[in-house]
Amino acid sequence: MLKKIKILPDNIANKIAAGEVVQRPESVVKELLENSIDAEAKNIELFVRRAGKVLIQVVDDGTGMNKEDALICLERHATSKIDTFDDLNRLQTYGFRGEALSSIAAVSIFELKTERKEDEIGTLIRIAEDGQIKLEKGSFAKGTSIAVKNLFFNTPARRHFLKSNATELKHIIETFKKIALCNSKIHFKMWNDDDLIFDFDSGEFEDRMKAIFADNILDAVIEVKEITDYISVKGFVAKPTFVMNNKGVQYLYINNRYVISRTVNHAVFSAYENILAKGDYPFFVLMLTIDPKKIDVNVHPAKLEVKFDDEKDIYSFIRAVVKKSLGHYDHVPSMTFDTSVENKERLRFNSFNKTGKNDFSDRPNLNNVHGNFDRKSVFSEDEIDLLFGSMNKEIKSTSSPSNLTHPFDGNYSKEVYHSTMSTEETTHKGSNSSFIVLLHNKYILSQIKSGLMIIDQHVAHERILYEKALKSMSSNMPFSQQLLFSQKVHVDPADYELLKELENHLNNLGFEIKFLNKNTIVINGVPPDVKVGLEVNTLLDILNEYRKNQRQKGLDVKDNIAKSYSCKAAIKAGDKISEHEMRLLVDQLFATSMPYVCPHGRPIVIKIPLEELDKRFGRT
């Protein structure tokens, strides 16, 4: 009887294995770059033609290989990086499977040139279309150059499934940047066809961030750093005002390897709880260092997914660290008037891919910010001279006027000051004398230690009401202001339906609504913050806003109601408020979890540092 089982010849086995390791040109780029880094290269150049379909070449100045190694590295499971299974627990290199080069060579026309520093002569290996290996000697540059031509020429099905050049190139660029980002000490260049498209000089991690994202990226992010015996994290997370609605811009590295972890992503997002609109995802770059014993990178040849031994601990750790960084951070944009730097301050993402998705200007929030201050303001946070905590105290302080110098002492100023105060409040002025004034019924100006603080009254109130609403809806203990005269309202059928749908939540928020027949409702009570006389309008406004917000993906019902309510019930720009109300507003604002950004991501507070004023008045 004929034997049915046989061992596959190497060339077929390699071709099959290649399917696992090499999915597209980008996979080749990743494997070659990682090999160069493992070989301790200081300079690495990537050349790509026709999105890698015609040529992918990586040239490095690393250790190189001698002739024997050069020959064996093309064999399957040939690796210099581990000897025993235990070595996996001490892994310091990207590679360890010894599968990449054999796989790549099986599906391309392959050329390897390599020469070690200590050798006079180098090695050239060519694998031709027919699989014939040609070995030559020669004098080459120190290091290794690997050229991969006509990828998938012998696996037409694979080649057929490649995407357009634009798409494949985009993948290559993303991988190139992911790898370059976490290896800032290495000088990387990338050539596309004949153009040098990236040139990342070696430097610090921060320099690489700038080169890859934007020159002023550091103005848009908050540093995260926590080192423990067990796990360490460092990196940057977006300031709440610079959040992109884009899931593609989270960079997580574990032990310097780019990975995807839903655990970590979720931990970061949850740290932004109540700060971000649901559906917004903060940009972040985080580098985790953890004992290799505690993780398993050997999950897939692409090595993207990581498993942690202690998912829960990692989750709480990341969440706590990010929360702390967000909390410690002075979120208040500083405003300066130096017009000479205005252009620098537009946060413009370096083109990351042709779709331009990663440009911060995409975000509606940022546009808002720009719309308001573009021409005159600089949002640089270079001097975080005071943590907002101290500022907070100062505002609240009513008993120690000694350290609060009144900015205007002349009669003129008193006039300005008094004009916003009712007479009865004036009598309290002695004891409650920190400077506070309303500008154009829109902005509250107040003195702080480092200068002047400006608060947008509408968004401040919005933040306060938003958090109140969320609390009230989750506690099921609504406060409701009973109306003296119940209001009977005819609503259109669509509103009637929506009201019914949201009835429970609206009740918890403080609305007491009775549903009569024929699209008629009766309002018996409203949340205490709804203005007298505007009960009906406010309720209908909330419905409209709710519908508008529904278009936003991922927004849950409660959050939407809280947002709609806070937006519609808050005092408006143009509403005149008393000094007492101003102080109340400021106090309540700083009692919220995030006083600096409104639920939509717009800034609530900005400050003008005293130094800036001094500079303008020539006092420097």
Q: Which does 80 bind (CB under 5 to 8 A by kind): ligand ADP, Mg ion, none?
A: ligand ADP
Residue nearest to Mg ion (CB): 95
Distance CA 325, CA 322 (A): 5
Residues 6+ away with beta carbon under 8 Å from 608: 334, 335, 336, 451, 452, 454
Site string for ligand ADP, 563-582 (x = CB under 6 A): --------------------
Residue 255, interface with ligand ADP (CB under 6 A)?
no
Closest CB to Mg ion among 59 and 608?
59
Site string for ligand ADP, 14-53 (x = CB under 6 A): -----------------x---xx--x--------------
Closest CB to Mg ion among 100 and 499?
100
Q: Which two tokens stand for residue 302?
A: 């692409």
Minimal distance, residue 205 CB to Mg ion, in Å:
24
Closest CB to ligand ADP among 303 and 458?
303
Q: In what order do the strands lie in the sheet with 512-516?
A: 481-490, 520-526, 512-516
Out of 14, 27, 35, 183, the only residue in the binding site for Mg ion (CB under 5 A) is: 35
- DSSP label at residue 360: G
Give the interface segment with ligand ADP, choosing from 61-69, 224-232, 471-479, 585-593 (CB under 6 A).
61-69
What part of residues 95-124 is at the interface with ligand ADP (CB under 6 A)? 95-101
Minimal distance, residue 28 CB to ligand ADP, in Å:
11
Handedness of CA 284, 287, 291, 293 (dihedral sign): positive
63 neighbors 142 (Cβ within 8 angstroms):
no
Cα(first)–Cα(last) distance of the chain, in Å? 99
Q: Which does 441 bind (CB under 5 to 8 A by kind): Mg ion, ligand ADP, none?
A: none
Residue 188, interface with ligand ADP (CB under 6 A)?
no
Closest CB to Mg ion among 25 and 95?
95
478 neighbors 507 (Cβ within 8 angstroms):
yes
Minimal distance, residue 37 CB to ligand ADP, in Å:
9
Out of 25, 62, 301, 451, the only residue in the binding site for ligand ADP (CB under 6 A) is: 62
Q: How far is CA 189 from CA 57, 58, 94, 195, 519, in A?
A: 12, 10, 20, 11, 67
Closest CB to Mg ion among 22 and 604?
22
Residues 6+ away with beta carbon under 8 Å from 2: none
Out of 27, 144, 175, 241, the only residue in the binding site for ligand ADP (CB under 6 A) is: 144
Give the interface segment with ligand ADP, choosing from 2-10, 57-65, 358-366, 530-538 (CB under 6 A).
57-65
Ranges assigned E (strand) in 431-527 = 436-439, 443-448, 451-456, 481-490, 512-516, 520-526
Alpha carbon dihedral 590, 595, 599, 604, in 10-degree steps, equals 110
Minimal distance, residue 498 CB to ligand ADP, in Å:
58
3-state SS assignment for residue 489 = strand
Minimal distance, residue 30 CB to ligand ADP, in Å:
10
Closest CB to ligand ADP among 66 and 368?
66
Half-sphere exposure of 546 (CA within 13 A, CB side): 22
Reference 48, options 258, 154, 199, 197; nearest CA is: 197
Residue 219, interface with ligand ADP (CB under 6 A)?
no
206 neighbors 218 (Cβ within 8 angstroms):
yes
Residue 81, interface with ligand ADP (CB under 6 A)?
yes
Alpha carbon dihedral 64, 69, 72, 73, in 10-degree steps, equals -30
Out of 95, 240, 527, 603, the only residue in the binding site for Mg ion (CB under 5 A) is: 95
Number of residues that bind ligand ADP (CB under 6 A): 22
Site string for Mg ion, 54-93 (x = CB under 5 A): ----------------------------------------
Distance CA 328, CA 322 (A): 10
Which helix (H) or strand (E) is 281 found in, with range? none
- DSSP code per residue over 382-434: ----S-HHHHHHHHH--S-GGG---S--SHHHHHHHHHTS-HHHHTTTTTS-S
Reference 240, options 603, 614, 615, 611; nearest CA is: 603
- DSSP code per residue over 575-586: ----HHHHHHHH
Site string for ligand ADP, 380-419 (x = CB under 6 A): ----------------------------------------
Reference 317, options 289, 338, 276; nearest CA is: 289
Distance CA 257, CA 92 (A): 10
For residues 452-475, b (16+ Cβ closer than 10 Å) or e, as one string? Answer: bbbbbbbbbbbbbbbbbbbebbee
Minimal distance, residue 43 CB to ligand ADP, in Å:
12
Site string for Mg ion, 376-405 (x = CB under 5 A): ------------------------------
Minimal distance, residue 168 CB to ligand ADP, in Å:
21
Minimal distance, residue 190 CB to ligand ADP, in Å:
16
Residue 63, interface with ligand ADP (CB under 6 A)?
yes
Closest CB to ligand ADP among 63 and 508?
63
Residue 542, interface with ligand ADP (CB under 6 A)?
no
Residue with the two structure tokens 């027949």: 517
Out of 60, 280, 512, 545, the only residue in the binding site for ligand ADP (CB under 6 A) is: 60
Out of 39, 100, 436, 455, the only residue in the binding site for Mg ion (CB under 5 A) is: 100
Closest CB to ligand ADP among 94 and 269?
94
Closest CB to ligand ADP among 112 and 491?
112
Distance CA 109, CA 125 (A): 11
Minimal distance, residue 4 CB to ligand ADP, in Å:
32
Give the interface segment with Mg ion, choosing from 34-42, 426-434, 466-474, 546-554 (CB under 5 A).
34-42
Q: Which amino acid is at 376?
A: K
Residue nearest to ligand ADP (CB): 95
Give the interface segment with ligand ADP, choosing from 60-68, 123-131, 287-295, 476-484 (CB under 6 A).
60-68
Give the interface segment with ligand ADP, choosing from 78-86, 328-336, 360-368, 585-593 (CB under 6 A).
78-86
Ranges assigned E (strand) in 441-562 = 443-448, 451-456, 481-490, 512-516, 520-526
Reference 489, options 538, 550, 544; nearest CA is: 538
Q: Which residues of this chain interact with ligand ADP, rule CB under 6 A?
A: 31, 35-36, 39, 60, 62-65, 73, 78-81, 95-101, 144
Residues in touch with Mg ion (CB under 5 A) = 35, 95, 100
